[in-house]
Each structure stands twice: as C-alpha cells, then as structure tokens.
C-alpha cells in the first residue's frame, strides 16, 4: 500500500464496545443509544492513544455500524474519521489512503452464534462460511486488508468474536471486552481497566506489526451462504458463480476479490429481499418501505421496526428475543 507507512487503520463497530450490554442500545431509537455512542468513542480513543504510542503517525477510523453516523468527530482524539453514506466507499477510501496495520475494534460474533451478543454478518439475513469456517465481519475485513498486504494486528469484542477470527488471523492480538451469553444481553468488564488494556495492546501490536502476517486464504476459496428466509434463497443462488446446494444454502468457489464481491452481492440481495429498505453497503433506497414507515408512523413505527429487527437477530439461528428485551 503506497504511502501507508506509519499509518494505522481502525474499522470499528459498536456491539463489542465496553459498556454496550443491552442490544437495544445499538438502535438509534434505543434509550441507551447516546451512552453507547459515548462508550464507542472512548474505546476508539483508547486504541488511538495506543497506536500513537506504538509509533503510528496517523490513524484513520471508519465507523462500520449501520449508517456510520455513530461517532462524532468532536468526540475523537488524534485520528481522522472517514465519513460518507456507504460502508464500502468509506472502507475503500481508508485502504486507498494507505495503512500498514489494521485494528478491528468493538466487533461482534457472526450470524449463527447463539451465545454471542447481537450476532450477525453485515446485514442480518445471511450467515456465511469461508473454507469451512464460520465467517463474520472481522474475517471479511481481515481478508480485505490482507489482500492489500496489511496485517490485522488487534481485535476487541466478546470471546466468541475473537475465537471466530483466529482461523483467518492466527497472529492477531485480542482484548476481550465482555461476556456474552445471548444475542440480547452481555456483561462488560470494568471500563477503565479494559480501556487501559486496549490502549496497551494497540501500542504493542502496532510496534510488532511486521511480525504479523496479512490474512490470506488458500485458493480456490469456498464461500457458503445460507439465507434466513426462503424468499432470499433464490436471489442469492442467482448470483453469478453461485450454486444452490441444499435448503437455503448456496456455494461460490473462486479467488479473492471475486469471493468478496459474490458475498457482498449475496448479502445485499438477502437484505433487500427481507426489508426492501436498502443496504448498508450502498446506502438506503429512497422511498423504500422502511423509509416511509419511519417517516409517517412515528413512535409506533419505531417500535415496530425494533420488533422487526429483534426477529431478524434470532430465529432460525438462535433464541427468540424475550418479551422483556423487546424494544
């Protein structure tokens, strides 16, 4: 990556952040959302301090949660927040600018992890495997970086998230931020101590970045995608190169980045089929059902949206949301 020496990249998410322990807090309509965003910024700042102490001259940050509007630039210290309506564009901007180490901060387990906190893999309507290993967002991001020669040096989140990244980034340093027992609730460790650990680990991991190999899979890579719903399954099977195997599952075999493009297409189609609201990759669809519901249904509509997401985060891959945890 030309021009990336001395620059660290942080791809960040909110579910694995210290202090975010109720799944309703990750929703913009949740009572705890503002506090969750403050905790999010504090975790990012801890990582930035560590990276700077470890020798990074610049730090780029991409907020990958939902629309990417959860981090306010004024709350961040010593870094540059890349903004824009599309996750893919923000990430591409970061990688194009260049960096020599990747930090995955605040991530969550993959879809299909029944004891992980808010487990999903980008959109909530698919779960995926790469070469037989359950693959969530950290795996795909590590491989995106690895395809450009950039090692993933640190990951933070619950234990399930960390364990699922290991097959793709065996040399990664990790900081466990919480205990997750269900998709709906977690128990974070002490904030001050955990953020000190994030800061220290980030510094050490960045200093030792040359000893960590970039994440690269043996090719041909096998991508298996299972959809949550029947309506999405034939759309995913129609992605060029995909072959439907059984039930709601399709398989794609090829090289990177073709595997990544196939996954993005499949994941987006499944999301569109289910919600008709758009995709976090390419932004919302103007005039969509979800947009209209938000615009005209007011508070009642927000509650309906919360119940809708609760359904998406659970069956058929995990327990149903208990009524007391429903938004």
pLDDT in tens, 127-186: 999 999 999 999 999 999 999 999 999 999 999 999 999 999 999 999 999 999 999 999
| Average pLDDT for 237-254 | 97
Q: Is residue 250 part of a domain?
A: yes
Reported as a single tens digit per residue, the pLDDT across 84-125 is 888 889 999 999 999 999 999 999 999 999 999 999 999 888
Is the CB of residue 317 less than 8 Å from the CB of residue 324? Answer: no
| pLDDT computed for residue 307 by the predictor | 76
Q: Domain check: are 198 and 227 in the same one?
A: no
Q: Domain check: are 49 and 29 in the same one?
A: yes
Q: Which residues contact 88 (CB under 8 A, 6 or more apart)?
A: 264, 281, 282
Q: Domain check: are 17 and 123 in the same one?
A: yes
Dihedral of CA atoms 76, 77, 78, 81 in degrees, nearest 10, equals: 10
Burial grade of 67 (CB within 10 A; 0-12, 13-18, 19 or more):
middle
Q: Is residue 314 part of a domain?
A: no
User: Among 300, 313, 317, 316, which residue's Cα sits nearest to residue 24?
Assistant: 313
Q: Is residue 301 part of a domain?
A: no
Q: Domain check: are 193 and 237 in the same one?
A: no
Q: Is residue 98 part of a domain?
A: yes
Q: Domain check: are 53 and 196 in the same one?
A: yes
Domain around 100: 7-211
Distances (CA, A) of 284 to 125, 157, 276, 291: 16, 28, 9, 8
Across the chain, what does the average pLDDT equal? 91
Q: Is the peptide bond before 174 cis (omega within 30 degrees of 0)?
A: no
Residue 3 has pLDDT above 90, yes or no: no
| pLDDT computed for residue 2 by the predictor | 39
Q: Domain check: are 59 and 91 in the same one?
A: yes
Q: Domain check: are 179 and 67 in the same one?
A: yes
Domain tally for the chain? 2
Is the CB of residue 120 less than 8 Å from the CB of residue 164? Answer: no
Q: Is residue 28 part of a domain?
A: yes
CA–CA distance, 92 with 4 (Å, rounded to integer): 14
């Amino acid at each position: 990556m030309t021009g990336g020496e001395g620059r660290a990249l942080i791809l960040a998410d909110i579910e694995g952040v210290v202090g975010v322990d109720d799944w309703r807090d990750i929703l913009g309509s949740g009572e705890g959302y503002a506090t969750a965003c403050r905790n999010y910024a504090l975790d990012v700042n801890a990582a930035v301090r560590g990276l700077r102490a470890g020798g990074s001259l610049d730090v780029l940050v991409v907020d990958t949660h939902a629309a990417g509007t959860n981090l306010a630039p004024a709350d961040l210290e010593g870094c540059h927040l890349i903004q824009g309506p599309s996750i893919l564009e923000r990430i591409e901007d970061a990688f194009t600018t260049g960096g020599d180490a990747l930090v995955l901060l605040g991530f969550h387990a993959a879809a299909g992890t029944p004891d992980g906190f808010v487990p999903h893999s980008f959109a909530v309507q698919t779960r995926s495997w790469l070469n037989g290993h359950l693959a969530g967002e950290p795996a795909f991001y590590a491989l995106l970086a690895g395809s450009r020669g950039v090692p993933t040096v640190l990951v933070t989140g619950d234990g399930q998230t960390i364990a699922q990244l290991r097959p793709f980034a065996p040399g990664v340093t990790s900081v466990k931020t919480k205990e997750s027992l269900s998709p709906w609730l977690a128990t974070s460790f002490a904030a001050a101590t955990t953020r000190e650990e994030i800061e220290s680990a980030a510094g050490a991991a960045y200093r030792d970045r040359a000893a960590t190999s970039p994440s690269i899979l043996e090719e041909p890579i096998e991508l298996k995608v299972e959809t949550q719903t029947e309506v999405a399954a034939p759309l995913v099977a129609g992605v060029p190169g995909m072959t439907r195997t059984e039930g709601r599952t399709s398989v794609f075999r090829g090289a990177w980045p073709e595997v990544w493009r196939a996954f993005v297409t499949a994941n987006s189609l499944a999301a569109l089929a289910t919600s008709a609201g758009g995709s976090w990759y390419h932004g919302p669809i103007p005039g969509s059902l979800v947009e209209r519901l938000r615009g005209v249904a007011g508070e009642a509509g927000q509650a309906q949206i919360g119940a809708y997401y609760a359904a998406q985060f659970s069956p058929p891959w995990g327990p149903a949301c208990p009524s007391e945890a429903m938004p």
